[in-house]
């Protein structure tokens, strides 16, 4: 657009003298017309080209951002999800949906397992899968581009190869959050969306194995070409000491995380970082790679190292690697 305007300016400058002379001649001709209606029509014909040029400049100045041209893949996905919101039968993916039939962990929580299955050995190799869905509860709640969402995520650790194949741990995460579409640009990045919400997480167990916490959260997503960066911060809602199953969880889970996604052709690479910002430097890193298999599924490799992979292991340092399938990508 800037190049087009520059070219027009140079052309007008080059023809300036000729244009001015033509305009003077035309005005003189209009003045010489004795009939008032014909003279007014002559003046109108001289003004029309300038009005058309001003209209073209105004249209170019307010041209919207082309998400496809800028390769803002997350923004494009969010726009498509919002369009589907009016369909009562549509529930869209929230976080990644995946199945890892084979994962290996180097540091098993045998104390928690003994309380659950005292007579059975615990396998280092187990399955892990996640189901994550969302839908819009109220569209344009605070004006155009502001939507109220409800979501549910369930993450499972399954002793698939153990006798009777029990679920070792399941984490339930219902949440509600408000998002605002945005188009703020700086340093080559576009702030696609900002939001805030409430999230509950628990493992559904009782007694000494019970784990849960409630958080208020804020988030912002930034994009540049085929890369997206999601920043989240959270604060735990306090509980009474008698009801708190994990009073020190913030010392391990910290106060937020940063997740980056980069798409190269049909491959997607992700990294998530979390730290408690304390002297003991407790945190976690999660690495992801999805690659094409067929039109419906992607191959998926996940690596995790640190604290808080699951609620039962929030205070346990663990390294896990898994291989399987991803049903949904982020970008």
Two tokens, residue 90: 């549509």
Q: Which of 283, 290, 276 is nearest to 309 (CA)?
A: 283
Q: Which of 94, 81, 118, 74 is nearest to 261 (CA)?
A: 74
Query: Structure tokens of 173?
Result: 């995460």
Q: Which token pair is 62? A: 């307010």
The C-alpha atoms of residue 325 and residue 197 are separated, in whole angstroms, by 30
Q: How far apart are CA 195 and CA 324, in angstroms?
A: 31
Query: Is 200 tagged catalytic?
Result: yes
Contact (Cβ atoms closer than 8 angstroms) between residue 239 and residue 215: no
Residue given tokens 């979501």 in the structure block: 151
Helices (H), the chain: 2-14, 16-31, 36-61, 67-70, 73-83, 110-116, 250-253
> Is 202 designated active site?
yes
CA distance 284 to 315: 11
Q: What is the dihedral of CA 154, 77, 255, 157, to 10 degrees?
A: 20
Selected catalytic residue, list 26, 105, 146, 202: 202
Please pick, among 26, 36, 164, 200, the residue that the annotation labels catalytic.
Answer: 200
Quickly list DSSP for 11-36.
HHHHTHHHHHHHHHHHHHHHHT--SH
Phi, psi for residue 21 in degrees, rounded to 5: -65, -40
Contact 322, 104 (CB under 8 A): yes
Burial of 242 (0-12, 13-18, 19+ CB in 10 A): exposed
Q: Which residues pair with 119 in a beta bridge?
A: none
What are the catalytic residues? 200, 202
């Amino acid at each position: 657009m800037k190049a087009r305007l520059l070219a027009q300016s140079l052309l007008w400058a080059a023809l300036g003298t000729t244009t001015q002379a033509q305009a003077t001649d035309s005005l003189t001709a209009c003045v010489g017309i004795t009939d008032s209606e014909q003279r007014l029509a002559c003046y109108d014909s001289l003004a029309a080209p300038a009005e058309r040029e001003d209209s073209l400049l105004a249209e170019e100045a307010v041209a919207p951002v082309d998400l496809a041209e800028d390769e803002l893949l997350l923004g494009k996905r969010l726009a498509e999800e919002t369009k589907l919101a009016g369909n009562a039968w549509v529930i869209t993916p929230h976080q990644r949906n995946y199945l890892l039939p084979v994962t290996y962990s180097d540091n098993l929580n045998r104390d928690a397992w003994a309380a659950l299955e005292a007579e059975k050995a615990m396998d280092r190799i187990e399955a892990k899968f996640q189901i994550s869905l969302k839908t819009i509860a109220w569209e344009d709640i605070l004006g155009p581009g502001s939507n109220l969402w409800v979501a549910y995520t369930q993450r499972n650790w399954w002793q698939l190869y153990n006798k009777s194949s029990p679920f070792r741990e399941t984490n339930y995460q219902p949440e509600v959050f408000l998002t605002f579409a945005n188009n703020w640009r700086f340093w080559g990045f576009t702030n696609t969306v900002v939001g805030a919400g409430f999230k509950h997480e628990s493992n559904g167990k009782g007694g000494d194995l019970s784990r849960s916490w409630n958080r208020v959260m804020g988030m912002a997503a930034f994009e540049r070409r085929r890369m997206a960066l999601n920043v989240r911060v959270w604060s735990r809602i306090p509980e009474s000491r008698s009801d708190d199953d994990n009073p020190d969880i913030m010392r391990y889970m910290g106060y937020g995380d940063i997740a980056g996604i980069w798409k190269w052709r049909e491959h997607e690479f992700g990294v998530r970082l979390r730290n408690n910002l304390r002297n003991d430097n407790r945190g976690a890193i999660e690495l992801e790679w999805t690659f094409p298999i067929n039109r419906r599924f992607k191959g998926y490799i996940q690596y995790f190292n640190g604290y808080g992979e699951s609620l039962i292991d929030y205070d346990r340092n663990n390294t896990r690697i898994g291989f399987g399938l991803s049903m949904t990508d982020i970008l």
